[in-house]
Amino acid sequence: MNVIYYLATLIKQYKVIRSLGYLGPIHFRAPYGNKLLVLPWILDGMNRPHILFDVIAKDWEDYSPHIIAKLVIEQIHEGAIILLHDADGDGNADRSKTTQALKIIIENVKSRGYKFVPISELLKEDKNN
């Protein structure tokens, strides 16, 4: 895939989101967290940050809710971005174990004094530091 393909795809996505009336910032995460060589250049030109994750739950594996939660809880830190899935590429995956793990994750993380915030808030905090 080349620069033109990525640029055209991002512009198309941007137009669709804006046509639906959304006026806020449009963040981007490449599929699978790929750090494609040309992507930072394209996103910078569009004034869009590339948002990546640093806590991976591996919820695509056939793990129990407790194992998914354990994987997240062991990696959690201030400013962490957690990768969880609501579907697979076809939208057919059963994510009930991820949903069940979320209750455990949220309770644990909050009990340790952390809070959940939108990406836009994390980006603001990052600019202030």
Query: The pTM is what?
Result: 0.77
Question: pLDDT tens-digit profile of 4-52?
Answer: 877 888 889 889 999 999 998 888 887 777 777 788 888 888 888 888 8
What was the pLDDT predicted at 105?
Answer: 97
Which residues contact residue 17 at a Cβ distance below 8 angstroms, ignoring those fewer than 6 apart?
26
Residue 26 and residue 14 in contact, taking contact as beta carbons nearer than 8 Å: yes
- The pLDDT assigned to 46 comes to 83
Structure confidence by residue, pLDDT tens digits, 88-125: 666 777 889 999 999 999 999 999 999 999 888 888 86
Residues 6+ apart with CB under 8 A from 22: none
Please give the domain boundaries of the chain with CATH numbers for all domains. Answer: 3-45 (no CATH), 55-128 (3.20.20.370)
Residues 6+ apart with CB under 8 A from 121: none
Compute how many other C-beta atoms are within 10 angstroms of the C-beta atom of residue 12.
10
Q: Which of 15-24, 53-62, 75-84, 120-129 has the lowest mean pLDDT?
A: 120-129
Q: What is the pLDDT of residue 34?
A: 76
